[in-house]
Amino acid sequence: MPTFPENAPAADVIVIGGGLHGCSAALHLARRGARVTVIEKDHVGRHASGVNAGGVRRLGRHLAEVPLAVAAMELWHRIGDLVDDDCGFESHGQVKVAESEAELATLRDRVAALTRLGFTHEELIDRRALKAMVPAIADHCVGAIVCRHDGAANPYRTTLAFKRKAESLGARFIEGTAVRSLARAGANWRVDTSAGAFEAPYVVNCAGAWADRIAATLGEPVPLEPIAPMLMITAPLPPFLEPVIGATRRPLSFKQFGNGTVLIGGGHRGSLDRDANRTGLDFAGLALSARIVWDLFPAMRGAHIVRCWAGIEARMPDDIPVIGPSATGDGVFHAFGFSAHGFALGPIVGAILAELITGGKTNLPIAPFRIDRFAGAKPN
Amino acid sequence: MTDLRETYDVAVIGAGPAGMAAATVCVRAGLATVLFDEQASPGGQIYRAVTTSPVKRGTVLGADYWVGGEVAQEFLASGAHYVPGATVWNLTREREIGISVAGAAHLLRAERVIVATGALERPFPIPGWTLPGVMTAGAGQILLKSAGLVPDGRTVLAGCGPLLWLIAWQYLNAGARIDAILDTGANRAGAWRHAPPFMLSPYLLKGLRLLLAVRRRVPVIANVVDLRAEGHDRVEAVAFRTAGGAEQQLAVDNLFMHQGVVPNVNLAMAAGIEHRWDDGQLCWRPVVDAEGTTAIAGIAIAGDGAGIAGAEAAQAYGLLAGHAAVRALRPGARGLAPEAAVRARLKRTLRGRAFLDAYYRPAEPFRRPARDTLACRCEEVTAGQIIDTVALGCTGPNQMKAFLRCGMGPCQGRLCGLTVTELIAQARGVAPQEVGYYRLRPPVKPITLAELAALPKNEAALRSVAR
């Protein structure tokens, strides 16, 4: 257990949670000269941040997330400048296929809606263009929307890179240490942990699937649902796919790595015990993922599944995160509940939090992510 | 498999002595019992092919092997639902079992599960161990038992452990040629303080007789501290050095390596059963009570999978685990064999285990090889690369995956796991228990996308869809 001398430097900001969002907050705050302490109950990247599919996309996002995803993508394309590591980021595009004319129509409507809002990063393509971009796709697919400069990165490596860079700028990471309570102590917040108490004027709640407990302590309970999205990886196959593939009506996240292995995800959920750090796999659910791959990629039918796993993630009822200031605790900020698609937003959310804490505002539209949106509609 | 049920009272995994004993006990007590095993016929590793072996001459494999034939016949006649050729790729805490048989996957459930997946050989990483012609002694024994094959040409056996001497003896009985045995056992002096119980062990006389018979016919070079397989497209020579000696070389066509067996932990760990490092046997052992019961309700482990103790002990543990299952599901059941006799026999069998563990303790240079030696065969990762990740802040095998693909290949750590844990422990200066092991997940052996896609739909699956 770590010990802290009486005269240890005080922190300006305490970040709860050492996942990607916590590490990103630490990095961006450290860049602005803040003294940051990150408290992580296991080790950095242990949960959702370290084991997800690594998708980095603007494609198909909830409209509220689009501005953040667009800003994040700019950071991803220069990620080496930010964290001195390329994070395994590759950009061969993301594709969301339509399996029927009806699905294609919904995609067409979506592109139109985005264009009206001033976003042109999603492009509708026809059957021929889809086959040219994804030769292995099943013949029944009629078209798709694509973001040619979307891609994917290595989640664990990315999270560690943000941590290392933050440390190099003075951020302190305390792992294997759980937060027990959070309370006002004069002008500061006092965070009690299994390794003693820490005080700082600002606290950031990036506690992932456990963030609702922090929120509840602050008197702003949220309907967070811990979930365990499942993934599968195959033995190496000859290269047949460059972009990351999703589907329209059914859940799929599908990509082939440089070493030939293929990652299959898509949101089918296992079971979990968030207090035991334990997930359980549901093979009946994985069978559904396998059937979708069977339908969309006939070349995959002989593939061998070598390993399956599930991470511990947090979902909000409207499938978008909570980002922004606490409604009850002055100086506390939240970034959690990324609903199985937060990895790509990691680099920008840390910047948003740093802007809010050091400057009192952010240029990116975060109103849809307010923590008090769950309390029931307010009268106009 | 046509008549596979969706639920059973008892599912036994593994048809070695422990599994066969457990299944026989359960089905005789009236429990609906299924036994899954990967091989085409029962026996596990120790009694592999005992009902089908082409090796008919009893003296080749020895009487201890043929004893297994009786156990197997008893099991086959018991009425348990026996499913050979079945790979069990998943076991959940809720006792749901995923199997593949005849190219099709199935999910089923049991009230009690007895995991009897036995042991596998400890990895033996040396320079050149991936050359064709280098194989484990266990692999040689499989070929002998199941196909009646012996090696052709110049043959050297290297390593330590009872199995090495057993296969040497069996090969000689079969008329095979063995040019030398290179004994890598070290520091034997320390073993002798465990000797007294071993003097009363049934293994003492058997072992001595076997050892003497082999030593009479094969040159044995002791205190081998350095070992290298050399060759271009296949092994051509084995280079070695004895303690304080000069380097020597033997030309070979076949090199058999062995330094002991360890529990096969993959299914048990993937099921979430806690394991602890055992420094006496230098391996991970599940946390179980005297009847093999784990902390997970309804799941027990019997046989070498709970700790290496040999075939006779495995049979006894299998019976005890079977009894525990019967008592749990049929509390008033009669007709169970009196346990006092079983436990007494077990105690006698276990006598001398500590001595064998100490005497045949694998030497340090062969558990933590030199930097350039491959530790992970699937992904071709060297010992040096693994040690270097510790300097980058990696504290265990799972964090190492941020830097290396070690452990992500199809063998799921069977050939590298122990080496990796010990290398990291040494580099960090901590005990292996603190370093831990790979976080193992199903499928415990690969399954095809086709099999998975063909699993029957059910309500639960439809509920698990995200949106």
- What is the per-residue pLDDT across B59-100, written as a single tens digit (0 to 9) for each? 888 888 888 999 999 999 999 999 999 999 999 999 999 999
Residue B198 pLDDT class (50, 70, 90 cuts) = confident
**Distance separating alpha carbons of residues B369 and B422, to the nearest angstrom:** 10
Question: What pLDDT score was predicted for residue B156?
Answer: 98
* Cβ distance of A156 and B402 shorter than 8 Å: yes
Quick one: B252 and B156 in the same domain? yes
- CATH code (residue B423): 1.10.10.1100
For residue B266, pLDDT beyond 90: yes
Residue A218 pLDDT class (50, 70, 90 cuts) = very high
Does B328 touch chain A if contact means CB atoms closer than 8 Å? no
**Distance separating alpha carbons of residues B371 and B382, to the nearest angstrom:** 6
Domain contains B360: no
Could you tell me if B182 and B221 are in contact, meaning their C-beta atoms sit under 8 angstroms apart? yes
Question: What pLDDT score was predicted for residue B217?
Answer: 97
End-to-end CA distance of chain B: 35
CB atoms under 10 Å from CB of B103, counted, come to 9
Minimal Cα–Cα distance from B60 to chain A, Å? 39
Quick one: B79 and B132 in the same domain? no
For residue B1, pLDDT beyond 70: no
Quick one: B98 and B136 in the same domain? no
Could you give the angle at the alpha carbon of A270 between the alpha carbons of A269 and A276, nearest 5°?
130
Quick one: B220 and B266 in the same domain? no
Question: What pLDDT score was predicted for residue B196?
Answer: 82
- CATH code (residue B189): 3.50.50.60
- In this structure, the strands spanning A36-39 and B275-278 are unpaired
Residue B2 pLDDT class (50, 70, 90 cuts) = low
Question: What pLDDT score was predicted for residue A34?
Answer: 96
Does B449 touch chain A if contact means CB atoms closer than 8 Å? yes
Residues facing B464 on adjacent strands: none
* Cβ distance of B464 and A287 shorter than 8 Å: no
Question: What pLDDT score was predicted for residue A267?
Answer: 76
Average pLDDT, stretch B407-420?
A: 94
* Cβ distance of B461 and A282 shorter than 8 Å: yes
Question: What pLDDT score was predicted for residue B394?
Answer: 87
Quick one: B186 and B235 in the same domain? yes
Domain contains B450: no
Could you tell me if B381 and B406 are in contact, meaning their C-beta atoms sit under 8 angstroms apart? yes
Q: Which of A270, A288, A340 has its CB closest to that of B465?
A: A288
Domain contains B148: yes
For residue B464, pLDDT beyond 80: no
- Interval A44-66: pLDDT, tens: 999 999 999 999 999 999 999 99
Does A52 touch chain B if contact means CB atoms closer than 8 Å? no
Q: Provide the 8-state DSSP code for A364.
A: S
Minimal Cα–Cα distance from B352 to chain A, Å? 39
- Among B232, B259, B286, the domain-final residue is B259
What is the total count of domains within chain B? 3
For residue B458, pLDDT beyond 90: no
* Contact map slice: B 383-412 vs A, CB within 8 A: 395, 399, 401-402, 405, 408-410, 412
* Cβ distance of B449 and A300 shorter than 8 Å: yes
**Distance separating alpha carbons of residues A322 and A212, to the nearest angstrom:** 10
Quick one: B230 and B277 in the same domain? no
**Distance separating alpha carbons of residues B78 and B323, to the nearest angstrom:** 15
Residue A5 pLDDT class (50, 70, 90 cuts) = very low
Quick one: B254 and B153 in the same domain? yes
Looking at per-residue pLDDT, the higher value among B33 and A378 belongs to B33
* Cβ distance of B460 and A268 shorter than 8 Å: no
- Interval B99-112: pLDDT, tens: 999 999 999 999 99
What are A282's two structure tokens? 């549901």
Give the range of the structural domain holding residue B393, as residue numbers without chain letter. Answer: 368-435
Domain contains B105: yes
Q: Domains in chain A, start-ordered, CATH in brackets?
A: 13-51+156-223+318-374 (3.50.50.60), 94-148+229-310 (3.30.9.10)
Quick one: B158 and B212 in the same domain? yes
Q: Residues B262-274, buried b or exposed e (16+ Cβ, 10 A)?
A: bbbbbbbbbbbbe
Domain contains B203: yes
- Interval A162-196: pLDDT, tens: 999 999 999 999 999 999 999 999 999 999 999 99
Closest to B124 measured CA to CA, from B284, B327, B310, B261:
B261
Q: Which residue of B has its CA nearest to A297?
A: B449
**Distance separating alpha carbons of residues B437 and B447, to the nearest angstrom:** 23
pLDDT > 90 in chain B, percent: 80
* Contact map slice: B 19-58 vs A, CB within 8 A: none
Residues 6+ apart with CB under 8 A from A238: A260
Residues 6+ apart with CB under 8 A from B383: B125, B368, B369, B370, B371, B372, B373, B374, B375, B419, B423
Q: What are the chain A neighbours of B449 within 8 Å (beta carbons)? A: 234, 290, 293-294, 300-305
Residue B361 pLDDT class (50, 70, 90 cuts) = very high
- Interval A200-211: pLDDT, tens: 999 999 999 999
Quick one: B141 and B187 in the same domain? yes
Q: Tell me the pTM.
A: 0.92
Question: What pLDDT score was predicted for residue B186?
Answer: 80
- Interval B111-143: pLDDT, tens: 999 999 999 999 999 999 999 999 999 999 999
Q: What are the chain A neighbours of B467 within 8 Å (beta carbons)? A: 251, 267, 319
Residue A379 pLDDT class (50, 70, 90 cuts) = very low
Residue A3 pLDDT class (50, 70, 90 cuts) = very low
Does A249 touch chain B if contact means CB atoms closer than 8 Å? no
* Contact map slice: B 411-430 vs A, CB within 8 A: 412
Question: What pLDDT score was predicted for residue B227?
Answer: 97
Q: What are the chain B neighbours of A290 within 8 Å (beta carbons)? A: 449, 452-453, 455
Question: What pLDDT score was predicted for residue B226?
Answer: 96
Q: What are the chain A neighbours of B401 within 8 Å (beta carbons)? A: 156
The torsion defined by the Cα of A71, A76, A80 and A85, in degrees rounded to 10, comes to: 130
* Cβ distance of A306 and B409 shorter than 8 Å: yes
Q: Which residue has the tokens 């993922």?
A: A289
Q: Which residue of B has its CA nearest to A264?
A: B449
For residue B170, pLDDT beyond 80: yes
Looking from the CA of A172 toward its CB, the CA atoms found within 13 Å total: 16
Question: What pLDDT score was predicted for residue A4?
Answer: 44
Q: What value does the mean pLDDT of chain B take?
A: 93
Domain contains B442: no
Angstrom CA distances, A10 to A4, A26, A98, stand at 11, 15, 54
ipTM, two decimals: 0.89
- CA B327 to centroid of chain Cα atoms: 29
Q: What are the chain A neighbours of B98 within 8 Å (beta carbons)? A: 283
Quick one: B234 and B285 in the same domain? no
- Among B226, B259, B292, the domain-final residue is B259
Residue A336 pLDDT class (50, 70, 90 cuts) = very high
Quick one: B176 and B230 in the same domain? yes
Closest to B408 measured CA to CA, from A135, A156, A136:
A156
**Distance separating alpha carbons of residues B33 and B325, to the nearest angstrom:** 11
Minimal Cα–Cα distance from B294 to chain A, Å? 17
Question: What pLDDT score was predicted for residue A2?
Answer: 40
Minimal Cα–Cα distance from B377 to chain A, Å? 14
Q: Residues B19-37, buried b or exposed e (16+ Cβ, 10 A)?
A: bbbbbbbbbbbebbbbbbb
What are A138's two structure tokens? 């099943």
Domain contains B320: yes
Domain contains B56: yes
Q: Which residue has the tokens 């064999």?
A: B337
* Cβ distance of B107 and A309 shorter than 8 Å: no
Quick one: B11 and B111 in the same domain? yes
What are A73's two structure tokens? 């993508």
Question: What pLDDT score was predicted for residue B466?
Answer: 44
- Among B280, B314, B336, the domain-final residue is B336
* Cβ distance of A308 and B443 shorter than 8 Å: yes
Residue A143 pLDDT class (50, 70, 90 cuts) = very high
Q: Which of A259, A268, A307 has its CB closest to that of B466?
A: A268
Minimal Cα–Cα distance from B372 to chain A, Å? 23
For residue B248, pLDDT beyond 90: yes
Closest to B94 measured CA to CA, from A114, A342, A284:
A284
Question: What pLDDT score was predicted for residue B403?
Answer: 84
Q: Which of A280, A291, A305 has its CB closest to that of B447?
A: A305
Residue B334 pLDDT class (50, 70, 90 cuts) = confident
For residue B200, pLDDT beyond 80: no
Residue B457 pLDDT class (50, 70, 90 cuts) = low
